[in-house]
Structure 1
Amino acid sequence: MRLRGVLLATVLLLPTAAPAADPPVNDILIRLDDRRARAAGIDVARVQAEAGTAQTMLPGTVMVPPQQLRVVAAPAAGLLEAVLVAPNEPVKAGQPIARLRSTDLLEAQRTYLQALSAEQLAQQKLTRDEQLFRERIIAERRLLTARADHDFARTTLQEREQYLSLLGMADSDIRALRDSRRMAAALTVVAPEDGVVLELRASAGERVAASAPLFAIARLKPLWVNLQVPLAQAMAVEPGTRMSVPGTPAQGEVVRLGRSVDPATQSVAATVQVEDGAESLRPGQVVNASVALRPNGTPQWRVPAGAVVRHAGRSWVFVKTAEGFRAKPVTVIAETPNATSIRAGLAPDDSVATRGILTLLAELTEVYGG
């Protein structure tokens, strides 16, 4: 509400340009003489110029990129006879990691052998009918029927062979089954690729259903660090921004900045891909990351922590002028309990309001909305 008898402030739009880091927006002039400013308890402090690359600390969580995580599932229902690896153990592609005894496997082998016998019989019949047709003993129609029967039997055999592969039987095991016709009661589950076993989801002696998850295996380089960027600083973080984790050799750069805001923390997620020093991080680890914010051509300043306010999705400071105060949108770079680093089109002799800001914020709300 407007304070009657104390502040009879008027506002005026000034057509000055916004900082390069913010979308274009007009500065807003709040007319207020010194006597009324003192009555409202408004204090000011001069801005301090900053040079070089700003550093800010942001919390983050280490995670495995989704494309590097593989979940190994049970190829068939059965009894998990043995688990051959332990959590955090490195594995190679094709390495045995579990042994599963399954009646489904026996049934699949039985139908495969039946299809194998049927295909061999159809092949023999086709060979005989081709000979008889060349000797003009049978009609062509019978030969065509024999060919169709053989094609069907061969397709059925290929289908049964592919099913055995889906159940986890290696090509060498399928060839041995074809040659010896001896069925195996258990199959070996192997690692699909090089990586580290992050999680065991079943134990030896446990009965599992088909497609039940057994292991989580991941490649741990590169890793991602999901940073929580306060909304006020989101404009200062962009793809390519460098990040490091103090106390470790881990460093990387931002590859993606989220478009949605977490309603609980009012932060934006920034994904950092860590190549160098990734081995010093662990999935699930919570870190405090140092983010280097590169200069973008807009001057950088340090102001008291209470000088920056958040309104209508933007950060603002109130710059002292001869007519009163000018509300100016800024980009927050870093925050500490005592000071805030900002980017804005300010001058070295500018002063900003540090106390009594609620009065100025009320005037800003009337003009700019929110």
Structure 2
Amino acid sequence: MKRLIYSSLFFIITACGSKTPKAEAPHEEGASSIVELTSAQYTNAGITTGKIGLKQISSNIKANGKLDVPPQSLITIAAPFGAFIKNTELLQGSLIKKGEVVATLQHPDLIQLQQDYLENKSQEEYLQADYERETSLAKENVNAKKVYEQSKANYFSLMAKINGLKEKLKLLNIDMKALDAGKIQSIISLYSPITGYVTEVNTNVGAFVNPSDKLFEIVNTEHLHAELTVFERDLPKLKEGQRVRFTLANESKQRTAKVHLIGRQISDERTVQVHCHLDNEDKQLLPGMYLTAWIETGNAMVDALPDEAIVQFEDKPYIFIEKGQYQYEMIAVEKGSSELGFTEIMLPQGFDKLNTKVVLKGAYALYSKMKNSEEEEEH
């Protein structure tokens, strides 16, 4: 009699009828699904069975990640002091070269700072001469020590003020040669320290900005790298220099890279960051683009089956094993790498490879029979 036998853990049957099982059910301990064929069905299905063998398959680690740039290629520009934006012509997406002006600033305090510098600078020559004179007199024991010490203190105090103001003015990009000549500048310029593209513009003409404000962000896309997230369990397989293949979201073109650095910190999600350098740089790519990657970890002898021996149920892999004449059980497995028509599989704990026959051909026919019988049961 044609029938489909389900174990109690695979299907839960209620008084009102049953529905298709959840995908997780076959993974539960003791869960199974058995399909039985007639002799004619067996012949039509073309089923072939055999033992699970070892195959040499290139092992890959699948990982997700995104494109990123090193810290020196991503620049944030801020104002060195509180001021008003005098002018800026930057737009998001604009290409700007190193040394070009990104914005000009102005504020009365800027003028006062230069004035303070010039006033202190004007006293330098006098106090220096006074200090040198008192030093000479002190050597000849002509003047009082107190007078010498006061002269010394006045001179070095003035020089500290001048040097401090000078360094502040350098941070403001003030032309010190012009200032020393007495030319006070009412407007200062901010320059781009790199060549790149403007990714953020957070200000406008006339706005007052503070040193803590992020005005512009500029990125140099010439040295993009792939930042991958790899699970802790795959960490022992990773080595620097391994080849990486990756595709960007909504792109079928496959690109290549090499593992450059492997993170030394495991996150709360039990993952590690892997830094990869692209083999061919592309200026059209942008930081933040998501990607899917495969890290090639070398060849290995693994348990493998022909691709056609593995069926997908609710996006999870299963195989059929022989239980008796014309009787087969579907069990859950995990898939690894695939190559030349074979796929690595991870078998359930306790699986007897030596004494278990696996369906090598006809797995999809069994799966179809199982699904059809299930629908008949529901009706």
User: Which range, TM-score by smaller chain?
Assistant: 0.5 to 0.7
Q: Which amino acid aligns with 2:223?
A: P
Aligned residue number for residue 277 of structure 2: 273
Shift of residue 316, structure 1, vs aligned partner = 11
SS at match of 1:53: strand
Is the counterpart of residue 243 in structure 1 residue 226 in structure 2?
Answer: no
Q: Which AA in structure 2 matches 1:179?
A: A
1:203 aligns with 2:209: no
Question: Could you tell me whether the CA contact under 8 Å between 2:56 and 2:300 is conserved in 1?
Answer: no
Which residue is equivalent to 2:115? 110
What stretches of structure 1 of length at least 5 have no aligned partner? Answer: 5-29, 357-370
State the TM-score, normalizing by the size of structure 2. 0.62
- CA pair 250-295 structure 1, distance change in 2 beyond 3 A: closer
Q: 2:304 aligns with which of 301, 304, 323?
A: 301
Q: 1:223·1:275 contact (CA, 8 Å) conserved in 2?
A: no
How has the CA–CA distance of structure 1 residues 177 and 328 changed in structure 2, closer, same or farther, with 3 Å as cutoff? same
Match of 1:256 among 228, 241, 262: 262
Q: Spell out, residue by residue over 1:173-194, the C-alpha distance to the aligned partner (whole angstroms, 9 max, x if none).
A: 12211221x3211100011234
Structure 1 Cα separation of the partners of residues 139 and 271 of structure 2: 81
Letter in 2 for 1:211: S
Q: Name the count of aligned residue pairs.
A: 312
**Structure 2 contact 117–165 (Cα < 8 Å) conserved:** yes
Instruction: Find the aligned partners of 1:211 and 1:116 in 2 and give their Cα distance.
Output: 31
**Structure 1 equivalent of residue 3 of structure 2:** none
Kindly provide the amino acid, as one letter, of the partner of residue 207 in structure 1: F
Cα contact 2:57–2:302 (8 A) shared by 1: no
The structure-2 alpha-carbon separation of the partners of 1:207 and 1:50, relative to structure 1 and needing over 3 Å to count, comes to farther
Q: Please say if residues 101 and 186 of structure 1, whose CA atoms lie closer than 8 Å, have aligned partners that are also in contact.
A: yes
> Which whole-Å CA distance do the structure 2 matches of 1:174 and 1:307 have between them?
74
Of 322, 336, 341, 1:332 maps to 336
Residue of structure 2 in register with 1:177 after alignment = 179
Q: For residue 178 of structure 1, what is the amino acid of its counterpart?
A: D
Gaps of 5+ in 2: 1-6, 9-28, 38-46, 367-379
Quote the Cα distance in structure 1 between the aligned partners of 2:258 and 2:222.
Answer: 14
1:81 aligns with 2:86: yes
Sequence identity, in percent? Answer: 19
- Deviations along 1:197-219, one digit per CA (max 9) or x if unpaired, are 22222122322123311111223
* Change over 3 Å in CA distance of 1:247–1:132 after alignment to 2: same
Whole-angstrom CA distance in 2 between matches of 1:317 and 1:233: 25
- Indicate if the aligned counterparts of 2:57 and 2:300 stay in contact, CA closer than 8 A: no
The 1:215–1:309 alpha-carbon spacing in structure 2 relative to 1, beyond 3 Å, is closer
Q: Aligned-pair distance for 1:102?
A: 2.0
Q: Distance in 1 between matches of 2:197 and 2:58?
A: 37
Measured at CA, do residues 86 and 141 of structure 1 come closer, stay the same or move farther in structure 2, by a change above 3 Å? same
d(CA) in 1 for partners of 2:220, 2:335: 37
Letter in 1 for 2:130: K
Q: Does 1:220 align with 2:221?
A: yes
Distance in 1 (CA, whole Å) between partners of 2:266 and 2:322 is: 34
Of 97, 101, 104, the residue aligned with 2:102 is: 97
Using a 3 Å threshold, how does the CA distance of structure 1 residues 84 and 308 change in structure 2: closer, same or farther? closer
Name which of structure 1's ranges 150-159 and 50-59 shifts more when overlaid on structure 2. Answer: 50-59
